A and B are shown apart, each in its own frame.
Chain A
Amino acid sequence: MEEEMHTDAKIRAEIGTGCSPRGPGCSLRHFACEQNLLSRPDGSASFLQGVAEKSRERLIRNTCEAVILGTLHPRTSITVVLQVVSDAGSLLACCLNAACMALVDAGVPMRALFCGVTCALDSDGTLVLDPTSKQEKEARAVLTFALDSVERKLLMSSTKGLYSDSELQQCLAAAQAASQHVFRFYRESLQRRYSKS
């Protein structure tokens, strides 16, 4: 006997206007989320590209596995289907955020929330948080971290490119600062959802 839960998450990783050039570092782009927007599933997300993106699926899966209390639902399959609506940079981080929101919306018990943050290091060592696709392409290294909400610990990291030890620690510290912001966004959007007024 098997039960299945489906979790939905649509990812909107877009900016409305063209991106204005930002100074080095540090601002997160505008983001928006909508919960419970599909009537059929409890929550799901699917990928447009398919086979080539198995590694991304695996990363997201491992992050979710670390956080979900699987022992409360034995013999249950939890399916997370992610659909990429459009890609404007920081795709993996956006997928992680969407997956977390969808799991919350579906009511799956978790031991912590998680969020994804992407940093890009360009050729002169400047750190850019939440890069656009153009910035990602021109960067020397792109690092994506999944951080948990309880102690801002690292759940998953996926990096591409060349960087030094100290740069890694810097990016990690910056990601931790940014994750505070993302968690505040989660909290406020959930408060709004469940508020009585």
Chain B
Amino acid sequence: MKETPLSNCERRFLLRAIEEKKRLDGRQTYDYRNIRISFGTDYGCCMVELGKTRVLGQVSCELVSPKLNRATEGILFFNLELSQMAAPAFEPGRQSDLLVKLNRLLERCLRNSKCIDTESLCVVAGEKVWQIRVDLHLLNHDGNIIDAASIAAIVALCHFRRPDVSVQGDEITLYTPEERDPVPLSIHHMPICVSFAFFQQGTYLLVDPNEREERVMDGLLVIAMNKHREICTIQSSGGIMLLKDQVLRCSKIAGVKVAEITELILKALENDQKVRKEGGKFGFAESIANQRITAFKMEKAPIDTSDVEEKAEEIIAEAEPPSEVVSTPVLWTPGTAQIGEGVENSWGDLEDSEKEDDEGGGDEAIILDSIKMDTGVEVSDIGSQDAPIILSDSEEEEMIILEPDKNPKKIRTQTTSAKQEKAPSKKPVKRRKKKRAAN
């Protein structure tokens, strides 16, 4: 779906507000939105909310053979996906530019900075190493995807535990989580991206732009830093020209912000660790706030199934026995068998309608019976040409018989009735049951 264009008055309003140092949500120039980090039940699954922007991160691992030129290092794989629910403009085929840019930036930030110790992922040099895969999904787009994604990635990596492995000579033993506690990854430092949006050719600067502000910005500067004030990646896009001291000032701001965010991350990880150790409840289900009016929980509920058996027996007693299904297969040649007789073939009708007149009565085309999963096909006996033939439909076609007494010409028309679809949807279910009963 195309993005709704930003109106001129909205654009002017935003720019004027920025000139007067005002932001739409009341933040100051250097303020970040609220960051909320929650964890799932599995290790390595986390959700980060930066204001309304939501990113889901999931880490998984696998034992593979290493790359040929790096036989002693593990493999890291990052993937950011812009889900279609994040914004109407994100369609599976259509977002390549932004997607490529974000993925590249994320890779440079996490891989080239060597924040994960890949040597420790090696199990047997040249044969088996761990491949760590980080999948990030953007669930809601309210600006500043890259910051949220980098936080989600590093949090998920810190939270993840890989299975323990021991090597004795030639034998590699992989322990399940029940046998031995899984082992965390060895992480040297935590690089976090901080975005700066520039307006009016670099005159005004905003930290953590939201979606509206991103639409009217001139350019974006992204600095990835860790808490030791080491710059891991720096990228300027949008073609704005920045002065040296502007860039230095931004890096100082980034240093402050990264320190705050890192503290938040460490606290969240610690809390989660504590809850797990004490045996309390953890997971996304717990992080749904109770007080929010849009959230609702229900505890485990017992269901009374004492009368289930009686009910079932009643139904079976009332139901008629399954009708005889033709189940003797006819073997044509080795490898080709036929069960039952198919629907009358109507494809050839439009061209061969003259031929049909010649052939006269019998028009049973023997086709291999294909069980249609989506649509029910009801075949009434074609023997008597007088009765109207009802072939109920798939979504596209409806057969209307115009001349029931002669060989009919069939016309296909579009059907728009939704009601007809409900009935056939029950048929395939029953058919499947009948076949099982016969077997």
- Chain A residues near B293 (CB, 8 Å)? 192-193, 195
- Complex CA gap A127/B312 in Å reads 13
Kindly identify which residue among B58, B84, B296 contacts A46, using a CB–CB cutoff of 8 Å.
Answer: B84
B85 in the interface (beta carbon within 8 A) = yes
- Chain B residues near A155 (CB, 8 Å)? 425
- Complex CA gap A36/B293 in Å reads 11
A177 shortest CB reach to chain B, Å: 5
Kindly identify which residue among A8, A16, A35, A41 contacts B283, using a CB–CB cutoff of 8 Å.
Answer: A16
B315 in the interface (beta carbon within 8 A) = yes
Kindly identify which residue among B86, B281, B284, B301 contacts A85, using a CB–CB cutoff of 8 Å.
Answer: B284
Kindly identify which residue among B52, B279, B280, B294 contacts A34, using a CB–CB cutoff of 8 Å.
Answer: B294
Query: Quick one: given A16-B282, A28-B301, are A34 and B295 in contact (CB under 8 Å)?
Result: yes
B167 in the interface (beta carbon within 8 A) = no
Contact B300 A4 (CB under 8 A): no
CB-contacts of A166-197 with B (<8 A): 166, 168-170, 172-174, 177-178, 181, 185, 188-189, 192-193, 195
B99 shortest CB reach to chain A, Å: 15
Contact B305 A174 (CB under 8 A): yes
**Interface size classification for chain B:** 35 or more
Contact A26 B304 (CB under 8 A): yes
A83 in the interface (beta carbon within 8 A) = yes
Contact A83 B56 (CB under 8 A): yes
Tally of A interface residues using CB under 8 Å: 68
- Chain A residues near B283 (CB, 8 Å)? 14-16, 86
- Chain A residues near B426 (CB, 8 Å)? 154
CB-contacts of B20-54 with A (<8 A): 40-42, 45, 47, 52, 54
- Complex CA gap A58/B372 in Å reads 13
A104 in the interface (beta carbon within 8 A) = no
CB-contacts of A79-113 with B (<8 A): 79, 81, 83, 85-86, 88
16 further contact pairs, Cβ within 8 A, besides A10-B139, A71-B416, A169-B316: A6-B84, A6-B88, A17-B279, A26-B305, A27-B300, A27-B302, A34-B296, A38-B54, A40-B141, A48-B137, A83-B56, A83-B85, A85-B56, A129-B305, A165-B316, A193-B296
7 examples of A-B residue contacts, CB within 8 angstroms: A32-B296, A34-B296, A40-B86, A46-B85, A48-B58, A66-B421, A173-B305
Q: Residues of B with Cβ closer than 8 Å to A?
A: 1, 40-42, 45, 47, 52, 54, 56, 58, 83-88, 135, 137, 139-142, 279-286, 288, 292-305, 307-309, 311-313, 315-316, 374, 416-418, 421-422, 425-426, 429, 433, 437
Q: Residues of A with Cβ closer than 8 Å to B?
A: 4, 6, 8, 10, 12, 14-17, 25-41, 44-46, 48, 58, 62, 65-66, 68-71, 74, 79, 81, 83, 85-86, 88, 127, 129, 154-157, 165-166, 168-170, 172-174, 177-178, 181, 185, 188-189, 192-193, 195
